[in-house]
Structure 1
Amino acid sequence: MNYVTLLKNGADEAELQTYLSQGNEATITIRVPKNLKDACAEIAAMRGLNMSTYVRSCLIRDLAEKR
């Protein structure tokens, strides 16, 4: 089962979050403006997270949100 199938089958937010947080880790590279990277790192630190964890949580929150 994949993400789109879950959406089409009416998965709730908890099911989507569970699916998105599982699986093997993959390394990615993204290009963002330095100011965005710095702001992200600062907010992550204020929340007691590293930047990678913060970005992951933002992606999961956005992808699991029902629209």
Structure 2
Amino acid sequence: MPEPGSKKYDTRRARLRKDAERSGVSDQDANEAANETLRQDPEYRSRGPRTERGRGPKGERPKDTD
């Protein structure tokens, strides 16, 4: 699954933005529309940090409620 910032994610975002611009939407609106479309698509949604290090310093993490 492509993560935000990956090449596949960026390629998809650029295509969506270009399609929106071709349909007459301004640059800023096309950018926002592409971002919103990708945020809603479960395949392109971020899964969050995959390692303990990615969660940040241990003292600053939210407490687990397990």
Same fold (TM over 0.5): no
User: Which of the two has higher C-alpha Rg?
Assistant: 2
Structure scoring higher RCO (CA < 8 A, sep ≥ 6) equals 1
TM-score normalised by L of structure 2: 0.31
TM-score normalised by L of structure 1: 0.30
